[in-house]
Structure 1
Amino acid sequence: MKNNHLIFKKIIKKEIPAKIIYEDKLITAFEDIKPKAPVHILIIPNIFIETSNEINKKNKYIFSHMFYIAIKIAKKKKISQDGYKIILNCNKNGGQEINYLHIHLLGGKKLKALY
């Protein structure tokens, strides 16, 4: 399970196909292959960070950029007015399935609260 992060590395390197929505020198955003909503985009840093626990002074700018781009994509996908979720899972008990920092942008329908 520890090497499951390789799929994201291969998407960044364009070694496996993905429907890329946005990319720049810091991050890559692409459609989830098993969407949980009409809009389900994954946003990942282009450098490997395993979990949110590894965010530090040197790389914290990437995390804020991920959120900034998520909001831009929400506006582009026309889900910003009705609402959307940005979800970050950390480690096994937090629901993280791929050991590579990523956020989910979900929208396009009424989403249930998690609490």
Structure 2
Amino acid sequence: MDCIFCSIISGDIPSKKVYEDENLYAFYDIEPAAPTHVLIVPKKHIASIMDLTEEDAPLVGGILLGIQKIAKELGLEENGFRVVNNMGQHGGQTVFHIHFHLIGGRQLFGMV
């Protein structure tokens, strides 16, 4: 499989890690949309939200709790932040490994 996020998770491609646990890897986006822009990626390769199964429910909950931990560590909870998931070509998904963008550090307007 040729997946850039799998290569980042395995360490084959360098990244600026923000958080890691047994199921998640989070790192700074190389093209940030705001002062803080972190990608949260499950270590399990799942192409998109549409490929999740019932057995992935604990993983999805873990992703949300991981986002919460990261937001707190980065000091985003007081002023707020945005969480984005792009699904499919029309949704703007460019890497087909499910991931979530944690964006903050400034006032956000409109859609990202």
Same fold (TM over 0.5): yes
Structure 1 position 33, deviation (Å): 0.5
Cα distance between partner residues in 2 of 1:63 and 1:40 = 20
The Cα offsets for residues 73-111 of structure 1, whole Å up to 9 and x where unpaired, read as 111111111010010111011111111100000000000
Aligned counterpart for 1:94 among listed residues 91, 95, 99: 91
Cα distance between partner residues in 2 of 1:33 and 1:45 = 18
1:35 paired residue number: 32
Unmatched tracts of structure 1, length 5 or more? none
1:8 paired residue number: 5
Q: TM-score, normalised by structure 1?
A: 0.92
Structure 1 position 113, deviation (Å): 2.9
Unmatched tracts of structure 2, length 5 or more? none
Q: TM-score, normalised by structure 2?
A: 0.94
Amino acid at match of 2:13: I
RMSD: 1.5
Cα distance between partner residues in 2 of 1:83 and 1:75 = 10
2:69 is equivalent to residue 68 of structure 1: no
Query: What fraction of aligned residue pairs are identical, expressed as a percent?
Result: 33
Post-superposition, which runs of at least 4 consecutive aligned residues in structure 1 deviate over 4 A?
A: none
Cα distance between partner residues in 1 of 2:77 and 2:92 = 25
Aligned length: 112
